[in-house]
Amino acid sequence: MSDLTDIPNIGPATARSLIAAGIPDAASLRRIGAHEAYRALLVAGERPHFIGYYVLQMALQGRPWNDCRGAEKTELRKAFDRLVFELRGHGLSGIEAELRAIGLIAPQSASRS
């Protein structure tokens, strides 16, 4: 197993996901940072989950996973939502986003031109 699990809050399952997303070790994770690492996880097929996003942020800061609160958590939520929107939503919401995600709406839908 990689040294990723040496980082507090990163267990074996998260380490396997990071490795599968092209982040093989703790040095690589620290170099790209939590936001870009989470982007890599999403690109690799992980489902978006806000808790996973902020746990990764806290892990790289050496803080307990549940230390994220208040304004900091609000700002991280905004960053997470922007990232998910950028990678998954592409300007669509609700059912349209889901239909695009499974390939039933073309990337350049005529209804959005």
Domain ranges of the chain: 3-112
Buried b (16+ CB within 10 A) or exposed e, 49-77: eeebbbbbbbbbeeeebeebeeeeeeebe
Looking at domain 3-112, does it have CATH number 3.40.50.720?
A: no
Q: Of 50 and 108, which is predicted with more confidence?
A: 50
What is the arithmetic mean of pLDDT over 14-35? 96
pLDDT tens-place string over residues 58-97: 999 999 999 999 999 999 999 999 998 888 755 555 666 6
